[in-house]
């Protein structure tokens, strides 16, 4: 294929970072990885641009660019190196470790569903940033939601309940807009 690239085993020496396994929007202020994409691919893998119709769209934003990674059948995945310390994005009482897929508040582990964890991890990774319901559906759910915005509201209500009375205020409602994580706003 003219649009694909082939990489040898020497280009895949670096471990593959933990990924969420779906497309997501990259913010303009988000740092770009220092290593080229070839360093993250397993041996024999190819990557090519994803068809535009398969990518989510954000209202009022430029179109996204995505890539498909093709791995030969029967190939074992490259092991992910565990970090020495759990990665805890954000600050405040809520800690999220995306590698171990665990979350805790003041050292108390939280029992979260898949989407609750993804929503909390996204909010904690971007403290003080206001997210619209549509942005959360696109980035957390991974698609443009067909129903109403109440789905996000229900998940946020469940998260607040699981955070407990003392920390439910860390997820704040921005009226007529959406939600934000404010680590210093615990009640």
Q: What pLDDT does residue 180 have?
A: 93
* pLDDT average, residue stretch 120-134: 90
59-98 pLDDT tens trace: 777 777 777 777 777 765 555 444 444 444 555 789 999 8
**How far is it, in rounded angstroms, from Cα 1 to Cα 155?**
43
- pLDDT value of residue 27: 60
Instruction: Give all domains of the chain, ordered by start, each with its CATH number.
Output: 1-81 (no CATH), 94-185 (1.10.10.10)
Q: Which of 27-31, 71-75, 159-163, 176-180 has the highest mean pLDDT?
A: 159-163
Mean pLDDT of 41-53: 77
- Decide if pLDDT at 51 tops 70: yes
Residue that is written with structure tokens 């439910």 in the block: 168
Confidence of residue 29 (pLDDT cuts 50, 70, 90): low
């Amino acid at each position: 294929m003219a649009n694909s690239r082939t990489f040898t085993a020497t280009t895949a020496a670096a471990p593959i970072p933990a990924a969420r396994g779906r497309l997501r929007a990259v913010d303009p202020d988000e740092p770009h990885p220092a290593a080229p994409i070839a360093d993250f691919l397993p041996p024999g893998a190819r990557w090519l641009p994803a068809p535009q119709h398969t990518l989510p769209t954000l209202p009022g934003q430029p179109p996204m660019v995505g890539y498909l990674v093709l791995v030969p059948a029967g190939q074992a995945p490259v092991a992910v190196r565990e970090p020495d310390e759990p990665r805890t994005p954000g600050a405040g009482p809520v800690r999220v470790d995306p590698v171990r897929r665990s979350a805790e508040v003041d050292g108390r582990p939280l029992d979260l569903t898949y989407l609750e964890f993804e929503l909390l991890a996204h909010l904690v990774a971007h403290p003080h940033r206001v997210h619209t319901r549509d942005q959360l559906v696109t980035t957390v759910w991974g698609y443009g939601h067909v129903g109403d915005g109440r789905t996000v509201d229900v998940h946020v209500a469940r998260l607040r309940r699981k955070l407990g009375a003392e920390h439910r205020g860390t997820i704040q409602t921005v009226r007529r807009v959406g939600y934000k994580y404010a680590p210093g706003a615990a009640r």
